[in-house]
Structure 1
Amino acid sequence: MDFDLTEEQSILKDSLDRLLAEHYGFEERRRIMASPEGFSAGMWGRYAEMGLMALPFAEEDGGLGGTPVETMLVMEAFGKALALEPYLPTVVLGGALIRFGGDDAQRAELVPAVAEGSLKLAFAQGERNSRYDLHHVETTATKDGAGWRISGRKFVVLGGDSADRLFVTARTAGSARDEGGIGVFLVDATAQGVSVRGYRTQDGQRGAEVTFDNVAVGADAAFGDPEGGLGLARRAVDAGIAALCAEAIGAMGAMHALTVDYLKVRKQFGVPIGQFQVLQHKAVDMFVAIEQARSMAFYATSMADSDDEAERAAAIHAAKAEIGRGGRLCGENAIQLHGGVGMTEEYAVGHYFKRVTMIDATFGNADHHLRALAAKGGLFRAA
């Protein structure tokens, strides 16, 4: 398999790295994080100008016809910069729901708005009792003439307080844990009956609790089959996990670079502590963990758009488990090798560890995905 980037992909990577290096320093990020919005509208506009919002969409729908590889490059750069903009909920999760669930009319309406940066999306799927199970849905959608009435509460909605529209999973039939009878609907965030309570998450990102109180939506709000939407939700989440794996690689690489630089300048007993062999071994352990995780992130990226749900799920489970394990090892070693300064809010390495820890918890932690992979018979099953 050829892992070399094309000329266009190299240009994308270099351009985005340069943009983030110039406009997303650590102190600037802290200022952005403390703002009411929690992200930079200026940077959001720059991403749109670069075409990042249009990347995953087909050219005939108004996009650039990119592949998951381009998304991987973007998310790795965002991980390195600890970017706060809601690219994951809007372009990756929302984009996947539009691409795989939207009909011609829905794509024609939504893709141009997302591509130009004027429409932000979020995916409201987590519930109080659902933990990591996408099929546990207590929010209901009941028929109301040609449309629907949606009622329920969703928790930890990534980017939910900045979203203009919300994709929501709701039960149209069956009981709370049935895999059938689940629909995916698009709801205006300002519709009557929708209330959004936003908050900052532990890693500086934004989340929200969203309540739907008998919210009326039209027939065109349903994406795909209103009773068979679980597959669509899983496909979007798989795309999101692949993107999160790439983001984690960027954050892990940045932690490693900061740690190696610190070992070169911090002195003890009159010499740089990087000369102590045991500390060198820990830095090497971090490097090995990053390279192993990078390989699995490549694998998840290559399978992110696969139509084979079983093979795609196995790849995603394996990658998320490895990313969680490697991210924790890198973060713990980075904090330990930095000593007390690594725990402070004024130093970047702790913020990287927070982000990697939250990535591990998003859409299932390492233990959850390892159990799921084992239940499926492992990554490479016997014929």
Structure 2
Amino acid sequence: MPDSNSKFSAAEQGLGYIFQPRLALLHALECPEDDLVFIERNDDVEFVEQDGKVSLGSLKHKAEGDRLTDLSTDFWKSVRIWLVNFKVTGRTASKARYQLFTTAEVSAGSFLVQFEDFVADGERRARDADAALATSKSELIGKITAELAEFDSDELADFYSRITIFSRTPRIDDIPGLVGRRLITVRKEFRQALFQRLEGWWIDLVIQTLTGQRSEPIKVQEIHDRLAMLADDYKVDSLPIEFNDKLPEGSIDATGDKRHFVEQLRALDLSTDRIRYAIIDYYRAFEQRSSWARANLLVSDEIERYEDKLVEEWGRYKALVCENITADSKDEACITAGRELYRWAEQSTGQLRIREKVAEQYVVRGTFHILANSTPAPRVHWHPRFLEKLAKALGVAA
């Protein structure tokens, strides 16, 4: 962990950057589906309602014990941003509201406590703000005072009446639990995993927006739709699918890989392309099963029972395709039978699912490869004489 006492520590700033999209996600889940979300447009986050009303939010994650006082820069820097928007959107004709979300607490004696009240007295706020600014000699406050002077008293009263401070906003590590309370259709022990997947998708969406890969605003409905889709993965007849586009790190060595399941495919004289896809399926299935196990999504012995099911079905089809293979059969006949058995496993086993709605093919194909890679002896094999060849290679009598 970083040393928060070091003068070089940027822990709080780092938390602040991560806090912004996380809090925006929490807030979005509370908004109507017709709302639009903009990230880093006119403020940290901006919500636009269907009738055109706009809420600009400044999001601040502060150190434990931080307090907002009359001249806190978090407030006045936000005011400066909001003034620009207020001016360009028509001043008193503007439809904008301005919100400061901060984990800090407003000091009891500060005039800023007025901004925590939804019933706003704009004239009083403007008068007290002017008095507070007059006590400062800082360059920043001086610039803000000059910018405020461009507005008449009615405009300032209107502007200040639009501001709300949400103090003691949930801290960054509290947000997953608050989102979890909105996931009541999902069993409690799975909510953390669901939040992580939702947040991963959300962060990717924010990055696309900030880098310009996505030009249109984010629809709140997109977030609700994604949440509903992810939540379906945690029902009793389904499991999350997370590796359908993942590849192993580094290069895939279809010609030099020495694992048993790969050697089995070479014994069938398969092309390097087919072997490469088999290595990918093995990787995806292995990583997926590990992910399910880490998230405690599997019931007792579920993987073992699934593997037993595949082994039995493999045995049935092997008995069929190898019915005419005898001790006198030539290797060409064995390769033909083995290829047919492997073709069946690749293309005709989609119905052999670990759960009814887990239809991704890499799960079953990859599990066959995991079984073919079992030690000390593979639980499934393709070439009818592969076990004999393996025994000879290991110097063990078949």
TM-score of the aligned structures, taking structure 1 as reference length: 0.20
Larger radius of gyration: 2
